[in-house]
């Protein structure tokens, strides 16, 4: 009986990010589904329950924080692990990210643009983490 691979939902409005991340994670043994905005992510959750969501923070249509709050509240996925992706990580503004993490029960933030090997290591780390409780 084959092992079931963890399912990763990647939500990002940059096609290059979706393509690169899907290729690397698939090659590393993960099942991957993609969404290019928050509305597509909500739609994907009607048929899939991912083990981890990688959510871009800044997107048109619906930003990552609003999307993750809706996911938690509307789809009752408080047990799904989620991590924000951002290209705009600014260590001088930890309060901005701390609030986003606290308000959505995200496990953390991953900076886009790092090596793809770091991506895989980060995904492994986040999948192994305990789920944070979500309180609306």
- Report the SS3 class of residue 111: strand
Q: How many angstroms separate the CA atoms of 80 and 118, rounded?
A: 22
pLDDT 10s per residue in the chain (136 long)? 456 799 999 999 999 999 999 999 999 999 999 999 999 999 999 999 999 999 999 898 899 999 999 988 886 666 789 999 988 765 555 566 778 888 888 998 888 888 899 999 999 999 999 877 676 6
Give the burial class of 24: count Cβ atoms within 10 A of its Cβ; 0-12 exposed, 13-18 middle, 19 or more buried. middle
Domains and CATH numbers, the chain: 7-128 (3.40.50.2300)
**pTM recorded for the entire structure:** 0.90
pLDDT on residue 73: 84
pLDDT on residue 1: 43
Q: How many angstroms separate the CA atoms of 56 and 10, rounded?
A: 8
């Amino acid at each position: 009986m084959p092992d079931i691979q963890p399912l990763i939902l990647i939500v990002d409005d940059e096609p290059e990010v979706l393509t690169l991340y899907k290729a690397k994670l698939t090659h590393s043994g993960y099942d991957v589904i993609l969404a290019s905005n928050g509305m597509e992510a909500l739609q994907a959750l009607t048929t899939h329950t991912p083990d981890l969501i990688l959510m871009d923070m800044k997107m048109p249509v619906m930003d990552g924080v609003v999307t993750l709050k809706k996911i938690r509240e509307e789809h009752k996925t408080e047990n799904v692990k989620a991590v924000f992706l951002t290209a705009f990580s600014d260590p001088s503004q930890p309060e901005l990210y701390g609030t986003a993490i606290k308000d959505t029960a995200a496990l953390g933030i991953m900076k886009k643009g790092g090596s793809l090997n770091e991506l895989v290591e980060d995904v492994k780390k986040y999948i192994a983490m305990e789920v944070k409780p979500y309180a609306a």
